């Protein structure tokens, strides 16, 4: 694990399983229907409790319709160690011509702002949009780390970080951190 002091807070990058973290909130890289799926989304749904989380997500969708890319909503963490799950939708990579960088930054920043509204002080993110949505990892890392740095400098959070699932991803994000932080 690597850590950096940013403002009065701390940014971290670590290898691990986001569903096992003891933080106030974990972020789910969700789809617009909040319907669960593969990757991090599926793991969070399975670990939190499929029925409970599905019902909470369906209630949100019944109220707001689809969750647009870059926006965020919150549910309880149910069976996760984290008290809350913040669900955000990252953009699908389409070559960078459809506001993907702005939408990806918004996914991180809106998650941090929502967390602050709920008195959340520690939060962990997956690499949003880097799996099935095809976002180039190096570019996504730069955007994500810049957003987390901005959020910590603004006092939105005491501790924010990235949880990466394998050594290759961790190495890529560590190199990006050297440039951004």
Task: Indicate the Cα dihedral angle 121, 140, 39, 116, nearest 10°.
Answer: 20
Q: What is the pLDDT along the chain (181 residues), one digit of tens a residue?
A: 999 999 999 999 999 999 999 999 999 999 999 999 899 999 999 999 999 999 999 999 999 999 999 999 999 999 999 999 999 999 999 999 999 999 999 999 999 999 999 999 999 999 999 999 999 999 999 999 999 999 999 999 999 999 999 999 999 999 999 999 9
Q: Where are the domains of the chain?
A: 2-180
> Which residues are identified as catalytic?
41
CATH architecture entry for 2-180: 3-Layer(aba) Sandwich (3.40)
Helix, strand, coil percentages (3-state) for the chain, rounded to 5, are 45, 20, 35
Supply the angle between the helices 137-153 and 100-117 in degrees, to the nearest 10. Answer: 40
pTM, 2 dp: 0.97
């Amino acid at each position: 694990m690597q850590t950096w002091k940013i403002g009065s807070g701390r940014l971290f990058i670590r290898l691990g399983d986001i569903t096992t973290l003891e933080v106030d909130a974990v972020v789910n890289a969700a789809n617009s229907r909040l319907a669960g799926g593969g990757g991090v989304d599926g793991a969070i749904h399975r670990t939190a409790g499929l029925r409970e989380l599905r019902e909470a997500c369906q209630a949100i969708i019944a109220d707001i319709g689809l969750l647009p890319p870059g926006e965020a909503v919150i549910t309880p963490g149910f069976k996760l160690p984290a008290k809350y799950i913040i669900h955000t939708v990252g953009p699908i990579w389409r070559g960078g011509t459809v506001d993907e960088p702005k939408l990806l930054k918004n996914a991180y920043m809106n998650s941090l702002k929502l967390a602050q509204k709920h008195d959340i002080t520690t939060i962990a993110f997956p690499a949003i949009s880097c799996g099935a949505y095809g976002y180039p990892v190096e570019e996504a890392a730069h955007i994500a780390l810049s957003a987390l740095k901005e959020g910590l400098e603004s006092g939105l959070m005491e501790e924010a970080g990235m949880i990466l699932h394998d050594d290759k991803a961790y190495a890529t994000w560590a190199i990006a951190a050297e440039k951004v932080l």
